Structure 1
Amino acid sequence: MHTVRVIRRAGQGDAEAIAALVNQAYEPYIRRIGKKPGPMLDDYRQVVADTHTFVLEEGADLLGVLVMSLEDTGLLLINIAVQPRYKGKGIGKILMAFCERHALRNGCDAIRLYTHELMTENIAIYKKLGYQETRRATENGFARVFMRKALSVR
């Protein structure tokens, strides 16, 4: 029996599970950057209320989460996290493709994101997906790399 993967809008009832997934996904970076990464500090009840948050689930399993916010003509990808045991199984790719479709459906011409400069593997993934570095800056005590991808609106 094959379980279907579903991407759906997150509700308040998902906040606790999302927080747990985010903590597990970002925990390995604490030692590297010397403190908890920004997404681990968020209140996910507030995040779910204020943003476009989607979860990817398979049966009862939460595989990943995507947190986005609409800006003028663009979309800000605030957070993407994959349950560690599903890393390397294409979940991130599925979520990034959904992010682009969501941006296009909402009339956006670009997606912006930022990541910590020490999360080098993430920067490499984003570059492979067509994101270009626009600047580096320290924000809220985090050394961030800002990236952008222009979308071709069909």
Structure 2
Amino acid sequence: MMDIRLAHSGDEAAIRACAQAAYVRYVPLIGREPAPMLADYGAQIAGGLVHVAVDGQGALAGFIVYYPEGRHMLLENVAVAPNAAGRGVGKALIAHCERAARQAGLGGVMLYTNAKMVENLSIYPRLGYQEVDRRTEDGFDRVYFLKPF
């Protein structure tokens, strides 16, 4: 049993811990901490941009950050706690974002991932996303994907 809800300030420490645990393995590949490890989660939570997946005991299983940008919902960050990996948490969070985009009348969901996070380059196409761009931003090599509706 998993519930997805809007994050509140009391979730910030668990969200930070989840981001650290989920992304630390990429530091050697990228050569520095990826953007999700440096994000201002307090401001994002205050802005209503973060949703969390909690298990039946109320423990954080993962989170997602998204917001409307132009004609699309920008999925900025999705992370799953390592102890919840393989249970469909990431897929459920992405589906939650897609539902929010449809309800807002947007044309799809845009996301980006680091080019060195190679497993993501195969995961997103399996979820219906198409690669639409590659560019360097803030010193990161990013691959953009779009799932149009």
Q: TM-score, normalised by structure 1?
A: 0.92
- The RMSD of aligned alpha carbons is 1.1
Q: Distance in 2 between matches of 1:62 and 1:122?
A: 22
Q: State the Cα deviation string for residues 96-131 of structure 1 (Å, max 9, x = none).
A: 111111111111111100000010101211011111
Q: TM-score, normalised by structure 2?
A: 0.95
Q: Distance in 2 between matches of 1:8 and 1:137?
A: 32
- 3-state SS of paired residue (2:128): coil
What is the aligned counterpart of 1:53 among 5, 27, 50? 50
In the alignment of these two chains, the number of paired residues is: 148
Q: Distance in 1 between matches of 2:81 and 2:139?
A: 26
Q: Is structure 2 residue 145 aligned with structure 1 residue 142?
A: no
Match of 2:107 in 1: 109
Q: Is structure 2 residue 12 aligned with structure 1 residue 15?
A: yes
Q: Distance in 1 between matches of 2:117 and 2:97?
A: 20
Contact 1:51 1:67 in 2 (8 A): no
Moved over 6 A (4+): none
Q: Distance in 2 between matches of 1:73 and 1:137?
A: 20
Q: Distance in 1 between matches of 2:68 and 2:119?
A: 26
Unpaired runs of at least 5, structure 1: none
Q: State the Cα deviation string for residues 116-147 of structure 1 (Å, max 9, x = none).
A: 00101012110111111111111000000011
Query: Which letter does structure 2 place at the counterpart of 1:18?
Result: I
Unpaired runs of at least 5, structure 2: none
Q: State the Cα deviation string for residues 40-85 of structure 1 (Å, max 9, x = none).
A: 0112101212352100001231001010011232100000000011
- 1:13, distance to aligned residue in structure 2 (A): 1.5
